[in-house]
Amino acid sequence: MIAALPLVAAGSSAHAARKGSFGEAEVQALARDLARRAFTPPSKDLPQTLAKLDYDAYRDIRFDPAQALWKAQGLPFQLQFFHRGGLFREQVDLYELRDGQPTPIAYSTEQFNFKRGAPSGLSPHLGFAGFRIHAPINKASYFDEVAVFLGASYFRAVAKGMLYGLSARGLAIGTGGQEEFPIFRSFWIERPELGTRSLTILALLDSVSCTGAFKFVVTPGETTIFDVSAKIFPRRAIANVGIAPLTSMFLFAGDSARRFDDFRPRVHDSDGLSVSNGRGERLWRPLVNPQVVQTSAFQDKNPRGFGLVQRERRLAAYQDLEARYDLRPSLWVEPKGAWGPGQVRLVELPAATEYEDNIAAFWTPTAPLRAGSPASFAYRLHWGPEQVGGALARVVQTRSGAAAKPPRRRFVIDFDMPAGVPADGVGVSVTTSHGEILEKHLLPNPATRGLRLSFELDPGQARGADLRAQLAWSGRPCSEVWLYRWTA
C-alpha cells in the first residue's frame, strides 16, 4: 500500500465511524480523492525467500481452515486468506465491516501452514495477497470455496457442481495492445448475518489511468451471481477501456487440434463468445487460438448481455479426467441500465499451453472516459450454466478443413433445433466479407436431431474473411447468428 493511502482511509473511516457507518459512498470518496494524486505503485518488497517462490512452492503455503474468519461464529460464509509471495507480491489491505465499522483483518504467520517451513523474521505487518470465500454450495454440511479475489483486479467463482475456469476483472485498459493492469488495493467485507444468502464486498481500485470504487454482492448457488456496481474516476482520458472484462483460455478444438500433439480432442475453459445485442440478435462467435493477436469488435447500443461460454459439456469431448474442462463455468454479463453506444470486443492471443489465459472479452464505450469525469456502470455476472434466452437454435459445433479444390475452405456447422421448429422449410443465409460462398447445403443431422450447414469459401486473392450464417423459418430468424473470422 502506498504510504499516504492508509492515512486517507483511516481519516475517512474515523469520520464514518462518528456518523455510524462506512459504506459504498465512503469508498467512492476514497477513490475520488486518490484520483487527484498521481499513481504510486504498491511496494513489492518481500524477503527473498518469498519473492523467489515458484508456482508449486507458493501453493505449498496454505491457510489453516480452522482459523477461517467467521467459522467460530457459525455464519453462512467464511473467509480464508492468501499469503504474499511468488507472483503475488503486493499487499492488499483487508477489513471486516461490521455494523458500519471497518476493522483491519490482522495477518499472522500462525494462520498458515508452511510445507517447506516458515521463513524466519517475517514482519507481523506483512499482510495478505488476497482472499477466498467459502460457503455451502454442494451440500449443507460443507463449506466449499466458491470465489476468490487474487492478483491485480482478477476474481473468479464457481457454481454448484462446477470447477474454477475463466476469470473476471474489475477493469481492463489497453487489452490487446499496451496493456495496463489496474489493481484492487483494499477490500471491506461485510460480516454476514445468520441466514443471509449473499456476501457484500466493497473494493478500492487504482491504476496509472484511474481509480475506482466497486461493490460486489455475491450469491452462490446453481448459478453464482455477482451484482456489481462500479464508479470509475479517470486520471486521464481512457479510450481503450474494458468494462466488465472476462478472461479465459482456449487452446484448441476441432480443426485447430491438428497444431497440437495431444491425446485430448479439445482443451479450453470457454469455446465461444455469446452476445445478445440491443437489436435483439443473439450472436455466436467460436473462439480460436490465432497465429497472431486478433481483435474483433461487435458494434452495439445498449447491449442486453455478453459472455464467454463453455458450451461443450460432454466429458467424452475432452477426455481429461483431471482438468475436467466439461465442468468449467460459463460467465454471462447482464448490463443494468442503458450503457449507450459502444462495442463488445473480443481479443484472442496466440497460446502454446493451457496455462496461458489468451482470451479476453469486454464492453468498450464509444466515448472515451474523460479525465475528471466519473463514469458509473452496473451489471450482473452469472457464473455457471450457459444463460440461454429465447427459442433460437444454437451452434453446437463448428468445423473446417481443406476443400477438394484449393484454395477453397470447407465449413461444417451443426445447429440444434428448438421445439416447435420443424426441419422442413428452414432456410439459411451465408455471407462473406471477401471471396465467394459456394456449395451451400442444409441437411438434417439424425445423430443430433438438428441441422447441419455446410458450404465452401472461395477466398480468391483474400487472406482473410468475416463469415456470417443464420437459419430462418417462415421468413423469421430461428437461430443465433454464427460469426467466424477466417485467416489464411
If asked whether residues 271 and 218 sit together in one domain, one would say: yes
Q: Cell numbers of 201, please?
A: 464486498
Question: Considering 373, 388, 403, which residue would you say is the last residue of a domain?
Answer: 388
If asked whether residues 47 and 140 sit together in one domain, one would say: yes
Instruction: Give pLDDT tens digits along the chain (488 positions).
Output: 333 344 344 334 434 444 568 999 999 999 999 999 999 998 889 999 999 999 999 999 999 999 999 999 999 999 999 999 999 999 999 999 999 999 999 999 999 999 888 888 899 999 999 999 999 999 999 999 999 999 999 999 999 999 999 999 999 999 998 999 999 999 999 999 999 999 999 999 999 999 999 999 999 999 999 999 999 999 999 999 999 999 999 999 988 888 999 999 999 999 999 999 999 999 999 999 999 999 999 999 999 999 999 999 999 999 999 999 999 999 999 999 999 999 999 999 999 999 999 999 999 999 999 999 999 999 999 999 998 767 899 999 999 999 999 999 999 999 998 777 776 789 999 999 999 999 999 999 988 889 999 999 999 999 999 999 999 998 899 999 999 999 98
Tell me how far apart the terminal alpha carbons of the chain are, to the nearest angstrom.
48
3 state SS of 222:
coil
If asked whether residues 311 and 434 sit together in one domain, one would say: no
3 state SS of 266:
coil
**What's the distance, CA 55 to chain centroid?**
22
The Cα 426–Cα 243 span in angstroms is 38
Which residues are 132's β-sheet partners? Answer: 80, 148
Domain that holds residue 378: 1-388
Contact 414, 448 (CB under 8 A): yes
If asked whether residues 181 and 136 sit together in one domain, one would say: yes
CATH of the domain at 428: 2.60.40.10
Q: CA–CA distance from 347 to each of 98, 351, 444 (Å)?
A: 41, 12, 34
The Cα 110–Cα 61 span in angstroms is 12
Contact 165, 44 (CB under 8 A): no
The C-alpha torsion from 16 through 19 and 20 to 22, rounded to 10°, is -20
CATH of the domain at 274: 2.70.98.10
Residue 243 main-chain phi, psi, to 5 deg: -95, 135
Q: How many domains are there within the chain? A: 2
If asked whether residues 215 and 168 sit together in one domain, one would say: yes
Output the pLDDT for position 304: 96
Instruction: Put residue 100 in one of left, alpha, beta given phi > 0 → left and psi -120 to 50 → alpha.
Output: left
If asked whether residues 159 and 280 sit together in one domain, one would say: yes
If asked whether residues 256 and 330 sit together in one domain, one would say: yes
Residue 322 main-chain phi, psi, to 5 deg: -95, -55
Given CA atoms 123, 129, 131, 132 in this order, what sign does their dihedral have?
Answer: negative
Residue 33 main-chain phi, psi, to 5 deg: -65, -40
If asked whether residues 425 and 366 sit together in one domain, one would say: no
Q: Beta-strand (E) ranges in 47-92?
A: 61-63, 78-83
| Length in residues, the chain | 488
If asked whether residues 345 and 472 sit together in one domain, one would say: no
Output the pLDDT for position 183: 98
If asked whether residues 384 and 399 sit together in one domain, one would say: no
If asked whether residues 226 and 336 sit together in one domain, one would say: yes
Q: Which of 239, 179, 176, 171 is nearest to 211 (CA)?
A: 171
If asked whether residues 363 and 475 sit together in one domain, one would say: no
Q: Cell numbers of 87, please?
A: 507472483
Q: Cell numbers of 136, please?
A: 455451502
pTM of the model: 0.94
Q: Which of 58, 224, 202, 269 is nearest to 134 (CA)?
A: 224
- Cell 476493522 belongs to residue: 103
Q: Cell numbers of 225, please?
A: 451471481
- Helix 24-35 vs helix 4-19: angle between axes, to the nearest 10 degrees? 150
Question: Considering 388, 403, 434, which residue would you say is the last residue of a domain?
Answer: 388
Question: Considering 388, 413, 429, which residue would you say is the last residue of a domain?
Answer: 388
3 state SS of 469:
strand
146-161 CB burial, b ≥16 within 10 A, e <16:
bbbbbbbbbbbbbbbe
3 state SS of 146:
strand
Output the pLDDT for position 19: 55
Stretch (H or E) spanning 350: none
Output the pLDDT for position 222: 97
